[in-house]
Each structure stands twice: as C-alpha cells, then as structure tokens.
C-alpha cells in the first residue's frame, strides 16, 4: 500500500524530531487515517484510527490497526488529523480533535497544498493558537496545544459546516458525495427507471439515500430494499432519510472486495469512478460484476455512468444482454439483464 504524501507530511515532524514521539503509554486518536502509514522510530504509543470509508477501514484492519468508523472516547493525549479534499470535512475533523484531546494535549494536522491546507491553517489560526508549521512533501503540517476552553472554536467549526437539507428533506453532511444537492447522474437514472420494478431490490452505492427514496415512493410492488454504501456517514444519513421504511436494510459494504449475500430482482447503481483525482474505471467494472452475481436469473441492473467510461464490454461479458436507455454529452444510462 502506497502512503499518500499528506500522511508522510503528517508524520514528518516526528521523523525529524521537531516534535517528540509520544510516550509508549500515550493515547492517540488518528482522524482520517489512511492504510499503509508507517510510524517513525520510537513512536510506540497505541493509536485508534478513525476511518469511515469501508475499503480503507478493511485495509487498516488487515494491517493490524485498531480502527473504528466514528471517533469515540475523550481525554486523548494526541490527535493526528489528516485533512481531506473537502474543506468542511477537514474542519469537522479538527473540531472532533479539539473536543476529544485533553487540555494541554497535542493536535497535529496535515494536508496537501493542492487540497487547500494553507487556507485551512489560516482558518484554524483565527480560532486557536497554532504553535508551528512545517512544509514537506507538497503539503503542510501544523500543530497546536489543545486549549483548556475549546467550546467557542468547536462551535464555530461545526456551525459553519452544518448538516444541510437537500430538497427540504434529505439530511446531508460535508464530505459526502453530492452534498450540495442531487447529482445529475442519479437524477437521470431515476428519470429512466421503468414502471415495473418489483420484488427484492438493491441500491448499490446508495449514498445518502436519494435513489432509495425514489424506489420507495415509486414502486409499491417492491418487497424489500437493501442499501449498500461504503461511506459510513453517508449510510447513516440514508438510514435517517429512509426512517420509517420497514422494508429497508442498510449495509456498510465494500462492493469491490466483499461478497453480497442477498439475491435481487433489480439492482440500481450510480457507481463511483475514482477514489483519487484520476479516473478509475476498474471500480465501476468490479461493481458491475458484483451486481451480476447478486441478481437472480432474469434480474435487471439499471446504472448510470459518465459517458467516457468503458463499461459496455464489461456489461456484455457479465449479462445476457444490455441496452442504453439514455445518453447525452456527459452521462449514459444502461439496463442490463442477467
């Protein structure tokens, strides 16, 4: 596993003895932990890694790390915060660190310059005293001593990055896919679903539950709805957004590496096509394979994809037949029959 430059930047102050390595008995919270990180020599303290993205969570588990999807407990001696590409998500991680580290404890934050770490540093510096910063590996690490009174800083970070209501009904938080509103691809998929969906249905890559809600509202002949999502926070939002739907079940699941046990009459899917900045069509291709395995004979997959992604050959290999239901300059919608 290749460690990102931002993770290397995060540990660089300890590698260079700019910061002393925590003592063996220290408790450390690592927010946004990535798999593959290497601890500097002498860094012997126990770490609780927090990672809500299922593929990364599973990799951390395989590496022998203690990992949870949501932060827990308080009074940590140190918090390590890996900033993400989403400004709001990064600010909420820093608020979490301030809330959970003991007064006088250490908080170290790092991120890539291309992801806005300089502006994040400026924002945090306006709320609390930052002790020092150290640029390295095309990123910046900065650190601070956790103040005795963090209430105002935590409140400011959280109040400026609140949950929002999409369409006045869907609870969505910063960092989730399509946090600003229903994405056009999902809307196109919803618009091109046929009228005869029924029986057992699965929503792969369910996000915060938009397509699941469409299915519940439009298809009364649907008997069960299983939602699969790799982002723990998004799945919890979907659970909230579909509260009161007795037929709905929710699975925190990596569709690329974890088998699906259910068998379905229909699967709907708006698969991701990257985990970094570059396109990774193999993710969608793997999910097409997962959908084919999860469908009953004669079952149907309905999916949307960016127009340039090469999914037709994969659909042809995995299904008895497929057809394009819609295409424009950016998206295409398919139906495939098992």
- Cβ(93)–Cβ(83) under 8 Å? yes
CATH tag for 164-337 (out of 3.90.650.10, 3.40.640.10, 3.40.50.150, 3.40.470.10): 3.40.50.150
pLDDT value of residue 272:
86
Listed as ranges, residues in the chain with pLDDT below 50 are 1
176, with CB counted inside 10 A (0-12, 13-18, 19+), is: buried
What are the DSSP calls for 201-235, one per residue? EEEET-TTSHHHHHHHHH-TTEEEEEEEESBHHHH
327, β-bridge pairs:
332
Whole-angstrom Cα distance, residue 270 to residue 296?
20
pLDDT value of residue 1:
42
Say if strands 132-136 and 139-145 run parallel, antiparallel, or are unpaired: antiparallel
Mark out the alpha helices in 35-116 (DSSP H runs): 54-62, 87-100
Q: How confident is the model over 124-171, as pLDDT tens digits?
A: 999 999 999 999 999 999 999 999 999 999 999 999 999 999 999 999
Q: Which residues of 256-271 are buried (b: 16+ CB within 10 A; e: fewer)?
A: bebebeeebbbbbbbb
Sign of CA dihedral 322, 328, 330, 331: negative
- Cβ(154)–Cβ(146) under 8 Å? no
Distance between terminal CA atoms of the chain?
35
Q: Tell me, which fold does domain 5-159 have in CATH? A: Rossmann fold (3.40.50)
Enumerate residues 6+ apart whose C-beta is below 8 A from 299.
264, 265, 266, 267, 337, 338
Enumerate residues 6+ apart whose C-beta is below 8 A from 132.
18, 142, 143
pLDDT value of residue 278:
60
CA angle at residue 208 from 206 to 209, to 5 degrees? 60
Q: What is the DSSP letter of 231?
A: B
Instruction: Give me 29's structure tokens.
Output: 């919270």
Enumerate residues 6+ apart whose C-beta is below 8 A from 220.
none
Residue range(s) occupied by CATH 3.40.50.150 in the chain: 5-159, 164-337
Which whole-number Å values give the CA distances from 60 to 30, 86, 132, 276, in the listed order?
12, 22, 29, 18
């Amino acid at each position: 596993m290749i460690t990102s430059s931002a993770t290397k930047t995060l540990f660089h102050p300890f590698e260079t003895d700019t910061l002393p390595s925590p003592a063996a008995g220290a408790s450390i919270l690592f927010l946004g932990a990535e798999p593959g990180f290497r601890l500097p020599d002498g860094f012997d303290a126990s770490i609780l890694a927090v990672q809500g993205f299922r593929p990364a969570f599973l990799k951390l588990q395989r590496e022998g790390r203690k990992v949870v999807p949501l932060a827990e407990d308080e009074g940590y001696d140190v918090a390590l915060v890996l900033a993400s590409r989403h400004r709001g998500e990064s600010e909420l991680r820093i608020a979490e660190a301030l809330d959970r580290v003991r007064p006088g404890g250490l908080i170290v934050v790092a991120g890539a310059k291309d992801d806005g770490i300089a502006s994040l540093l400026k924002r945090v510096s306006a709320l609390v005293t930052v002790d020092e910063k150290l640029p390295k590996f095309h990123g910046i690490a900065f650190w601070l001593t956790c103040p005795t009174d963090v209430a105002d800083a935590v409140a400011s970070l959280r109040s400026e990055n609140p949950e929002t209501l999409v369409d006045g009904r869907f609870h969505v938080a910063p960092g989730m896919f399509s946090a600003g509103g229903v994405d056009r691809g999902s809307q196109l998929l919803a618009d091109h679903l046929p009228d005869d969906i029924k029986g057992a249905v699965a929503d792969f890559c369910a996000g915060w539950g938009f397509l699941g809600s469409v299915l519940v509202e439009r298809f009364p002949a649907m008997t069960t709805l299983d939602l699969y999502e790799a982002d723990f926070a998004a799945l919890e939002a979907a659970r909230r957004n579909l509260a009161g739907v007795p037929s709905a079940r929710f699975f925190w699941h990596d569709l690329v590496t974890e088998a699906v046990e259910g068998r379905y009459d229909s699967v709907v899917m708006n698969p991701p096509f990257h985990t970094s900045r570059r396109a990774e069509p193999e993710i969608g291709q793997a999910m097409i394979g997962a959908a084919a395995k999860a469908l009953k004979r004669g079952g149907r997959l309905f999916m949307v994809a960016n127009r340039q992604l090469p999914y037709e050959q994969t659909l042809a290999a995995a299904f008895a037949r497929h057809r394009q239901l819609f295409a424009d300059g950016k998206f295409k919608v398919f139906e495939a029959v098992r």
